[in-house]
Structure 1
Amino acid sequence: MKLTSSIQQIVDHLEKIKSFNAQNPLDDTRKYLETMSLQFSGKKEAVAMIEELNIPMENHSIPIRIYRPNGKSVRKSSAIIYIHGGWFIAGGFETHDAVVRKLANKTGSAVIFIDYRLAPEHPFPAGLNDCVDTVNWVLENAEFLDIDKNRIGLIGDSAGGALATSVSTQVGEFLKFQTLIYPAADNRFNTDSWKTYENGPVLNKEGGIQAWKWYHPEGEITPDPLAVPILIKDFKNTPPTLVLIAEHDPLSDEGEELAQHMKNAGIPVDISFYKDMVHGFMHMGEILNEVDEAVIEMAAFAHHHLETIEI
């Protein structure tokens, strides 16, 4: 494994991050992601408006944040629903704020960010249900939200890529596209890329095994394909898909395999390989030019399938 000087600089710094007053390994993981995002995401772009709402459910509510892009105000704008990563156990509004701002401005779409319930407090299928319920709520309330329900796409990164894959099998007929950024698709850790990158950079096998146990406790014995999307057989509702793969990422093989499963099912799939990149590189815009390159690529894919004009 040969890392570029920029990536090595990041890896060296990551090894020095210490979570402030972490109470336990779970708290440490959550604070680590927050710290990494804060230190490496770079300057946050201004957007026209950010709205926070709570979607009422029977026994809880789902917090969402809507990012309205800069530029000319467009009535009934297109929209992108974003599902964040964090091994199903971490992440939220602030960890992905910089990335989502970029996507909103570059796509010209309202980006709706879901703060779904996390494991282990809320194991599968709680988070997935929140994501499906949010898509349905957005469709039902499109006029109130001032978006065009016929021009909605989906983006998920890492664990959010797994959730997005499963969401699209449930309600994908209402979506124009999905983008999966280095998706976490498998809970078996038996790929060549996991053997190569078992100890990182960024992710490690020990932490991944624990995260999957928290998220899907029955997964080792009776895995549910909606939790472990590498096992999905029926992609009938899945819209055209873009999959971003990072070279030095233990998840790279499972991401490519998931994309191939979709292709075999007849789904139009584009695979984009980011040479030299590591898992989570979208959070590293302070140092990596590839973040803007990826945002431009995702925006072009969104424009094509939402039939919007590039900004």
Structure 2
Amino acid sequence: MDARLYETAHGSTQRPVILYVHGGGFTAGAPELFDQACDHLARETGAVVISPRYRLAPDYPHPAAVNDCATVLDGIVAMESDLACDSTRIAMAGVSAGGAIAVSLAYATALPVRLVLMQSPLLDDRPHATGLDDGRDPIWSAKAARGAWKAYLGPGGTRSAAVPAELEDLRRLPPVYMSVGSREVTVPETLAFSGRLAELGVPVEFHMWDGMPHGFEIKQSDNVVARASTQAAVEALRRALD
């Protein structure tokens, strides 16, 4: 399987699994650019963290990325004994576009996923969804979001499967953890998605971090707020995978 693996020393205990889907606006990025984040999760949770190298839009629109991540997930299950991991204790994590891919995969898979953790996720391609675009976020704009979704959906793309906000029955999802910075243009869609989950009875933990831009846990990892957000995410993963 085409993926990058992060782990602490092997022991006799079967370790949980975190499938970490990297960001990059659907069109860029690679697992090694997120080594620091994945190494940290492996150390702090004791899990085997595996980050798929998925195909990128626009050359490979949806569902290529989701399919590639599903192939890696299937490979984890097949190699469970070799990896010394427990495929009944799986969490999915994703940042930015990786959040959209992770939640789409969690929605589609039959495997027992315990948590979907999304940081600064892209959730809705509709122009009104990203309603805050006054230059407040130096990292990500509504224009960038529209371009990313256009590339990801491709010509004639099926929104109902690709766009998390369009998923038909969110009650199929496992518990969800969501984190967003207050300066992000995606705040409205993140609030709307978490609200829908809560209304449908899906367990959801939501955090908004004051003054922070898109992807701050990755791009500003030494910032005191970023460290607090990362710690909250670690604690949520520990609880889910215990």
TM-score when normalising by structure 1: 0.72
- In structure 2, C-alpha distance between the alignment counterparts of 1:129 and 1:81, rounded to whole Å: 14
The range that moved more, 291-300 or 180-189, is: 291-300
Structure 2: state its 5+ residue gaps. none
| Residue number in structure 1 paired with 2:153 | 216
Q: In the alignment, does 2:194 pair up with 1:259? A: yes
User: Deviation of residue 86 (structure 1)?
Assistant: 0.7
The DSSP-based 3-state class of the residue aligned with 1:185 is coil
Alignment of 1:1-311 (within 5 A): 55=1, 63-69=2-8, 73-171=11-109, 173-191=111-129, 193-197=131-135, 200-218=137-155, 223-285=158-220, 287-307=222-242
Runs of 4+ in 1 over 6 A off after TM superposition: none
**1:132-160, Cα deviation, whole Å (9 max, x unpaired):** 22222212321122101111111011101
Q: 1:83 touches 1:114 (CA, 8 Å); kept in 2?
A: yes
Equivalent pairs counted in the alignment come to 242
User: Deviation of residue 109 (structure 1)?
Assistant: 1.0
Residue identity opposite 1:235 in structure 2: L
TM-score when normalising by structure 2: 0.92
User: Deviation of residue 223 (structure 1)?
Assistant: 4.4
Q: 1:230 touches 1:258 (CA, 8 Å); kept in 2?
A: yes
User: Deviation of residue 297 (structure 1)?
Assistant: 0.9
Q: 1:284 touches 1:291 (CA, 8 Å); kept in 2?
A: no
**1:84-114, Cα deviation, whole Å (9 max, x unpaired):** 1111001112221111111111112111111
- In structure 1, C-alpha distance between the alignment counterparts of 2:199 and 2:158, rounded to whole Å: 22
The DSSP-based 3-state class of the residue aligned with 2:161 is coil
Q: 1:152 to 1:270 in 2, by over 3 A?
A: same
- In structure 2, C-alpha distance between the alignment counterparts of 1:298 and 1:207, rounded to whole Å: 26
- In structure 2, C-alpha distance between the alignment counterparts of 1:99 and 1:74, rounded to whole Å: 25
Q: 1:146 to 1:287 in 2, by over 3 A?
A: closer
Q: 1:192 to 1:238 in 2, by over 3 A?
A: closer
Q: 2:221 touches 2:227 (CA, 8 Å); kept in 1?
A: no
| Pair member with larger Rg | 1
The range that moved more, 95-104 or 82-91, is: 95-104
The DSSP-based 3-state class of the residue aligned with 1:89 is coil
Q: 1:172 touches 1:237 (CA, 8 Å); kept in 2?
A: no
